[in-house]
């Protein structure tokens, strides 16, 4: 039992906990708009794509001597210019992700008390951003607490909404227009990304007694990526059952179907999970600025703290559009880089996690990621 926990349950939980985040709240709207059948198709494809990307990224790490960050691997295999793009992409992706959290914080705070959206954003921003200066991430929030809060929300809404969902007529219609066909891809990429957890997972198996047991690592990465798909399905069933009209953030649509006490519980758990995630992403962004740009602590902290609020004040206030933009542009490009790095890394030899990958899987990955990147770029600039 201890072996099963150490070699499977623990690494699966670590990866799944890193994946399950704010993106979950965009999924019910996708299912409501595209239909149940199309929604599950997109979710299954997104889960399969990220299982592949996580395995390929782990393979790149194993084949490369020394310890590096994502930007470092990009420089090694794709060159300095690609490394600069990766640096900017990683940092800006984190900043926009923090903006997503600010927008979503309003939805949860609306469940607790009335007030102007800007007031609520500033309140959440002040409390969450304090960690950038006080360095209280590890003292106050562990990944375990944050993940537990997320799972409590999923379990609660599923238990309350599953019977209503079963009684509702399910929409099995397929997407019939261009936007409905392409718009779900990027939010699902946002919801399924867990690349940041892969280096720690690889290191975990490297320092274990059976460091070369790649079967266990492959199993942990695959299950750790696909477990969130199951969790997301439970959340979607619950929200669709409880919502008369599904909102883009999944939260606003619950206000007319749940009691004030339940709404306050959902709001409190949601804020807890957002706060912990905000602190974690903010700390990583500050560390990236220190590592890649050698910025003084005060400067890099001020940028990470100030830019999300500036973006919010500049009009980036639509949760679904923001999730789509981050998923399509930043994560789409990140996924393409992973595919290219893996293809280049094969010539270096060394340890390998994957003995063979079908060319069709690689081509399909390029096609899906490129479609998300192009679509969201066009939508953003137009």
State the Cα–Cα distance between residues 77 and 340, nearest whole angstrom. Answer: 8
- Quick one: which of 178, 186, 195 has its CA closest to 329? 186
Token output for 122 = 């500033």
- Quick one: which of 178, 174, 182 has its CA closest to 372? 182
Token output for 101 = 């959290």
- In sequence order, what are the residues at sequence separation of 6 or more whose Cβ sits closer than 8 angstroms to the Cβ of residue 138? none
Domain ranges of the chain: 2-381
- pLDDT digit string (tens) for the chain, length 382 residues: 667 778 888 889 889 988 998 999 999 999 988 888 889 999 999 999 999 999 999 999 988 888 888 999 999 999 999 999 999 999 999 999 999 999 999 999 999 998 899 999 999 999 888 765 555 445 445 567 778 888 999 999 999 999 888 877 666 666 667 787 888 999 999 999 999 999 989 888 876 545 557 888 999 999 999 999 999 999 999 999 998 889 999 999 998 888 999 999 999 989 988 888 888 888 888 888 888 778 888 888 889 999 999 999 999 999 999 999 999 999 999 999 999 999 999 877 666 788 788 999 999 999 999 999 999 999 887 7
State the Cα–Cα distance between residues 306 and 314, nearest whole angstrom. Answer: 12
Token output for 366 = 């390029």
pLDDT digits (tens, 9 = 90+) for 187-212: 999 999 999 999 989 888 876 545 55
Residue 1 near residue 142 (C-beta atoms within 8 A):
no
- Quick one: which of 190, 25, 158, 162 has its CA closest to 94? 190
Fold of 2-381: Amino acid/polyamine transporter I (1.20.1740)
Residue 73 near residue 371 (C-beta atoms within 8 A):
no
pLDDT value for 139: 45
Distances (CA, A) of 132 to 136, 285, 292, 306: 8, 10, 18, 11
- How many CB atoms are located within 10 Å of the residue 310 CB? 12
- The pTM for the full model equals 0.92
- In sequence order, what are the residues at sequence separation of 6 or more whose Cβ sits closer than 8 angstroms to the Cβ of residue 226? 47, 51
pLDDT value for 190: 96
């Amino acid at each position: 039992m201890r072996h099963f926990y150490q070699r499977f349950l623990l690494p699966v939980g670590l990866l799944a906990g890193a994946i399950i985040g704010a993106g979950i709240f965009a999924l019910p709207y996708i299912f409501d708009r595209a239909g149940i059948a199309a929604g599950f198709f997109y979710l299954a494809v997104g889960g399969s794509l990220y299982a592949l990307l996580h395995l390929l990224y782990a393979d790149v790490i194993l084949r490369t001597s020394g310890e590096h960050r994502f930007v470092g691997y990009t420089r090694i295999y794709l060159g300095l210019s690609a490394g600069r793009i990766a640096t900017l992409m990683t940092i800006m992706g984190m900043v926009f992700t923090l903006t997503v959290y600010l927008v979503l914080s309003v939805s949860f705070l609306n469940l607790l008390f009335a007030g102007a959206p800007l007031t609520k954003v500033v309140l959440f921003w002040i409390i969450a951003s304090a960690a950038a200066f006080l360095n209280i991430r590890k003292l106050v929030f562990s990944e375990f607490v944050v993940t537990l809060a997320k799972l409590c929300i999923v379990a609660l809404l599923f238990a309350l909404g599953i019977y209503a969902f079963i009684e509702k007529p399910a929409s099995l219609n397929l997407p019939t227009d261009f936007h409905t066909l392409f718009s779900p891809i990027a939010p699902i990429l946002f919801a399924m990304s867990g690349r940041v957890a892969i280096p720690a997972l690889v290191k975990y198996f490297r320092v274990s007694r059976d460091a070369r047991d790649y079967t266990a690592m492959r199993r942990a990465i695959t299950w750790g990526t696909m477990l969130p798909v199951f969790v997301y399905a439970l959340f979607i069933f619950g929200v669709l059952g409880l919502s008369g009209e599904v909102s883009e953030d999944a939260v606003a649509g619950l206000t007319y179907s749940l009691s004030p006490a339940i709404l306050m519980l959902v709001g409190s758990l949601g804020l807890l999970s957002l706060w912990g995630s905000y602190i974690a992403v903010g700390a990583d962004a500050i560390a990236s600025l220190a590592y890649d740009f050698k910025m003084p602590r005060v400067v890099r902290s001020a940028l990470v703290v100030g830019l999300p609020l500036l973006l919010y004040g500049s009009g980036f206030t639509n949760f679904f559009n923001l999730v789509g933009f981050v998923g399509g542009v930043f994560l789409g490009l990140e996924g393409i880089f992973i595919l290219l790095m893996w293809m280049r890394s094969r010539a270096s030899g060394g340890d390998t996690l994957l003995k063979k990958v079908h060319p069709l899987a690689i081509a399909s990955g390029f096609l899906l990621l490129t479609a998300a990147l192009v679509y969201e770029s066009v939508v953003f600039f137009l």
